[in-house]
Amino acid sequence: MLGDSTEVIIGLLLLIWGADRFVHGAAATARNLGVAPLMIGLTIVSFATSAPEILVSIVAAGRGDPDLAIGNAIGSNIANIGLVLGTVALFRPIELKSATLRREMPALLAVTLLTISLFLDSYIGRVDGVILLISLVIVVIWLVRLGIRSSATNPLQTDFEAEIPRGTSTRWALVWLVVGIVTLLFGAQLLVSGATSIAVRLGVSDIVIGITLVALATSLPELAVSLVSVFKGEYGIAIGNIVGSNIFNLLAVVGVAAVIQPAALPPSVLSLHLFVMIAFTLVLFAMTYEYDGRGMITRYEGFALLATFLAYDTYVVLQNVRIGS
């Protein structure tokens, strides 16, 4: 167990560092090519912050463990809203000023409903994976058009302008891009290997390990980015990072896993985990469309999100410990 835990920890550290270098390289390369900061933030950065989940999905599905990949996607979306946004709002209320974010929220809700509709037959096949990946292309095109139409005075534009790296040559940006991808791949392999071994030793399913341990690990980069952003007053990045990441998690992570290794879904996915994921998504949707016009996720709401996430994860762990014993 000690060796498996060490693999998970080392894999996690590599994922965090690799994700940071990958985001840096991708964003700097795009800036040097003349891409607008808002478009970089809405597409490239959102995709890059989901890179740990995507690499874990590819490695897990390639090893014949699609449940781990699907559990990671579902668990990461729950953790991004409950753990990440809850923790960030608890430290500092999140102001919602960007109309772009309000347009992204219905997209997240639509993507969530699409994923659930494909899961209703308790099987995720290659056709389902292709549908999700085609939807990913459509969403990216829509985000690009949204970025082009958005005003230069959009607060989110200013936030991304401040955060996207300057002064990095294209050569070094490409170097960091490659280094980030390679590091992510090694980190994903170690994390999946260690997590799978822990699941076997504890007698729990891959889906549970994916929803709890792996999802928590791959959501830490989002937590770090969002905390740093909100303390800088860049509220748009703090929540935009989560919304974009959740969209990419469902479309890219589940889509890739399904294409590589189709799988039947455990009953608990439909009876519990998907229900919790859509509940968190609906709550976030309601919070970003408050009727009083304040446009803010308060500390009380952050506490409620975090407490609910901890209660859910605790329930899942205790239920499976009892079953495993």
pLDDT of residue 285: 86
Local confidence band at 251 (pLDDT 50, 70, 90 cut-offs): very high
Q: Is the pLDDT of residue 156 over 80?
A: no
Q: Is the pLDDT of residue 242 over 90?
A: no
Q: What percent of the chain has pLDDT over 70?
A: 86
Handedness of CA 306, 279, 137, 131 (dihedral sign): positive
**Could you tell me the domains of the chain?**
2-324 (1.20.1420.30)
Q: Is the pLDDT of residue 190 over 50?
A: yes
Across the chain, where does the E strand assignment appear? 94-95, 123-124, 263-264, 296-297
Give the span between the Cα atoms of 311 and 24, in whole angstroms.
35
pLDDT of residue 325: 41
Q: Is the pLDDT of residue 324 over 70?
A: no
**In this structure, are residues 55 and 221 in contact, taking their beta carbons and an 8 Å threshold?**
no
pLDDT of residue 244: 84
pLDDT of residue 153: 57
Tokens at residue 223, please?
Answer: 């937590």
Give the residue with greater pLDDT, 295 vs 215.
Answer: 215
Mean pLDDT of 229-247: 77
CA distances from 239 to 121, 279, 284, 294 (A): 32, 18, 10, 16
**In this structure, are residues 187 and 15 in contact, taking their beta carbons and an 8 Å threshold?**
yes
Mean pLDDT of 208-229: 82
pLDDT tens profile 105-121: 888 999 999 999 999 99
Local confidence band at 165 (pLDDT 50, 70, 90 cut-offs): confident
Q: Report the C-alpha dihedral over residues 190, 209, 237, 228, rounded to 10 degrees.
A: -70
CA distances from 231 to 93, 98, 215, 224 (A): 10, 18, 24, 11
Tokens at residue 34, please?
Answer: 């003349």
Query: What radius of gyration, in Å, describes the C-alpha atoms of the chain?
Result: 19
pLDDT of residue 323: 44
Local confidence band at 298 (pLDDT 50, 70, 90 cut-offs): confident
Q: Is the pLDDT of residue 293 over 60?
A: no
pLDDT tens profile 33-51: 877 666 676 677 777 777 8
What SS3 state is found at 131?
helix
CB neighbours of residue 227 within 10 Å: 16
Local confidence band at 245 (pLDDT 50, 70, 90 cut-offs): confident
Residue with structure tokens 């002064």? Answer: 167
- Bridge partners, residue 296, by sequence: 95
Q: Is the pLDDT of residue 288 over 90?
A: no
pLDDT of residue 321: 60
Local confidence band at 163 (pLDDT 50, 70, 90 cut-offs): low
Kind and range of the H or E run holding 174? helix 170-202
Return mean pLDDT, the chain: 83
pLDDT tens profile 3-16: 888 988 898 888 88
CA distances from 219 to 74, 96, 105, 235 (A): 11, 22, 19, 18
CB neighbours of residue 178 within 10 Å: 12
Half-sphere exposure (CA, 13 Å, Cβ side) for 11?
Answer: 28
Local confidence band at 315 (pLDDT 50, 70, 90 cut-offs): very high
Q: Of the ranges 74-78, 282-286, 301-305, which one carries the lowest mean pLDDT score?
A: 282-286
Residue with structure tokens 């085609």? Answer: 134
Mean pLDDT of 244-261: 91
Local confidence band at 310 (pLDDT 50, 70, 90 cut-offs): very high
Tokens at residue 230, please?
Answer: 């909100």
Q: What percent of the chain has pLDDT over 90?
A: 30
Q: Report the C-alpha dihedral over residues 194, 200, 206, 211, rounded to 10 degrees.
A: -70
